[in-house]
Amino acid sequence: MRATLMYGAGDVRVETVPDARLIEPTDALVRITRACICGSDLWPYRKMPATDSGRRMGHEFIGVVDAVGRDVRTVRRGDLVVAPFVWSDGTCVFCREGLQTSCLHGGGWGSPDVDGGQGEAVRVPQADGTLVVLPVGRDDVLMPSLLTLSDVMGTGHHAALAARVEPGKTVAVVGDGAVGLCGVIAARRLGAEQIIMLGRHADRITLAREFGATDIVRERGDEAIERVRELTGDLGAHSVLECVGYEESVRTALSITRAGGAVGRVGVPQDPSIPLAKESFFDNITIGGGPAPVRAYIEELLPDVLEGRIQPGRVFDRVTNLEGVPDGYRAMNDRKSIKVMVEP
């Protein structure tokens, strides 16, 4: 079968690899119908040292179950399923608490013997705990929005929860990528009154406004901090969603948080420390977040997608096939595309 491998920074190839297959009795074999490229795939795309063997890519997908192991109970051959960006057993102490990203028996896509999502098929470990059956046909018009439940919509929701968004609150979103835009959707869904988006690209701003952003801050650095302060009566925002991961963006996030407020971090940290330790301490700012347990959120967000109350699939502005994946990485890295959908 064909699948995507990254060999180093800027070096993405689509190659023929061994066919995905069942190994454990708890596995499912899923033939992928939709996948995508993630903003977090761009970190290795910029930094990964060159290798000879390459690394299988992709952690967001929807597909049709082709076969299941003898111990699988909740999914059957022919089911259309969505997978979260990590797999999990659904039964351990952390899964029962809704923190499937810390599953004692879980792991990531693209690790040895587990395929990546940017390919034709995937071996899904712990299929009962991992997969969620979708009650629609495989080419349903809602497919882009359903696909965001595998990562970006759940991650935006996690940022909003970690930042303690509630009805009436003022929210600021740092990062205008797909996750930041989904963070706007999540903040509005949770009842935020004012939603300030920090971003400067016209297409992203337009989408942010349609998703519910009330104010746009195009400035950067200290000017952006000043502008948010103006918009919030010099107090800062109650809830700040940090959807980038650079030290500079975390600094901005902490600088625009109101005393007693909270920052929800979902941008994968690219630096070893969190800035402004003293300032945030004296302002009683809560710093939360981490990888989103999107498996826990799929069931919560799915009705809103199915009934059209949220349309996170609008973050996809480019569609390609498997052979076009390397171009898709380039487009996202050059910020020519917000998010690329892959139809193998």
With binding defined as CB under 5 A, does residue 62 bind Zn ion? no
Task: Give whichever of 150 and 170 is closer to Zn ion, judged by the CB atom.
Answer: 150
Residue 296 interacts with Zn ion (CB under 5 A)?
Answer: no
The secondary structure of residue 45, as a DSSP letter, is: H
Site for Zn ion contains 92 (CB under 5 A)? yes
Closer of 89 and 120 to Zn ion (Cβ): 89
Q: DSSP for 133-166, please give it.
A: E-SS-TT-TTHHHHHGGGTHHHHHHHHHHHTT--
The contact pattern for Zn ion, residues 69-88, with x = CB under 5 A and - = no contact, is -------------------x
Q: By CB under 5 A, is residue 294 in contact with Zn ion? A: no
Q: Which residues contact 272 (CB under 8 A, 6 or more apart)?
A: none
Q: Does 95 bind Zn ion (CB under 5 A)?
A: yes
Taking CB under 5 A as the binding criterion, the range among 96-104, 176-184, 204-212, 310-318 that sits at the site for Zn ion is: 96-104
Q: Decide if residue 89 touches Zn ion (CB under 5 A).
A: yes
Report d(CA 306, CA 300) in Å as an integer: 11
Classified as helix, coil or strand, 341 is strand
| Distance in angstroms (rounded) separating the CA atoms of residues 64 and 214 | 39
Q: Are 99 and 292 in contact (CB under 8 A)?
A: no
Q: Give me the least distance between CB of 126 and Zn ion, in Å please.
A: 8
Nearest to 208 by CA among 85, 344, 105, 312: 312
Q: How far is the CB of 111 from Zn ion (least distance, A)?
A: 16
Of 25 and 98, which has the nearer Cβ to Zn ion? Answer: 98
Which amino acid does the sequence have at 269?
A: P
Of the pair 45, 109, the CB lying nearest Zn ion is at 109
Residues that bind Zn ion (CB under 5 A): 88-89, 92, 95, 103
